[in-house]
Structure 1
Amino acid sequence: MLETVLCVDDDPITLMLCKKVIVKANFGKEIIFAQNGQEALDLFEKLKDDNLKDGAQVPQLVFLDLNMPVMNGWDFIEKFSLDTNSAFKNTKVIILSSTIDPADFNRAKQYNVVSHFLSKPITVEMLEKLKEIYS
């Protein structure tokens, strides 16, 4: 079981479903949320500051939607890979999207931080397979 999982999506129903499925699959102890890429980056910046002070728990895994307002998933990945990830080298991103565009799959392969590209909705079965990798 992972200590902390971050779910980034602008849809509150998707976030609720992620939480329920992660809990049901016993996949993560703590589940935190962001509604867009900018909120997620802000959270990582705060964690970077907090981690120096009190050992705040850093997400090992980020479930990331691609299509969001303010900052989409691609912009998050770009900034996280360049600016933020130096402090979070053990954090991996799993794109969780409804897109079926092959160009998105190919684009995701360009980023070392992206470990998987999965189709929505998240399921217990998906998490059972991921447990084998992340446990």
Structure 2
Amino acid sequence: MPIPQLTVFRHDMNNRALMTLTGEIDLETVHVVRESLAQCLRDGIRTIDVDLTTVTFCDVTGLNAFLHASSATAAACGSLRLHHPPPILARILALTGTSTLLLALPDGRSGRAADAPAHRIVPATTAPPVGAL
């Protein structure tokens, strides 16, 4: 059975970042999400778009990480928006009533770092395989 992993790719443009997550977000990998989002704020990023197109699973630990990061980003006068959440996360967002806090508007008014060319690419971060710690 393959070991679930999570990879984060980050593309920056001034004080904006597009983070693309690939894999599963759960108790074993959520620390990668938390650290990656916190690093954006430490680097002066104030607009964070998170593309979840290639996330295959996300549980409530992922939701909590996104809510915490959204709060921290708002406190720094910024915004964090999720794009294309997997069905399980979309369901959790709907059940918890947190969709309006995290999801990008359908018409894209939240702004998307993907539309602008990135002039700095931060190396990818990968969660270590389970049991490798």
TM range (shorter): 0.3 to 0.5
TM-score, normalised to structure 1, is: 0.44
More strand by share: 2
Where is the helix percentage greater, Structure 1 or Structure 2? 1
Q: Higher RCO, 1 or 2 (CA under 8 Å, sep at least 6)?
A: 2
TM-score, normalised relative to structure 2: 0.45
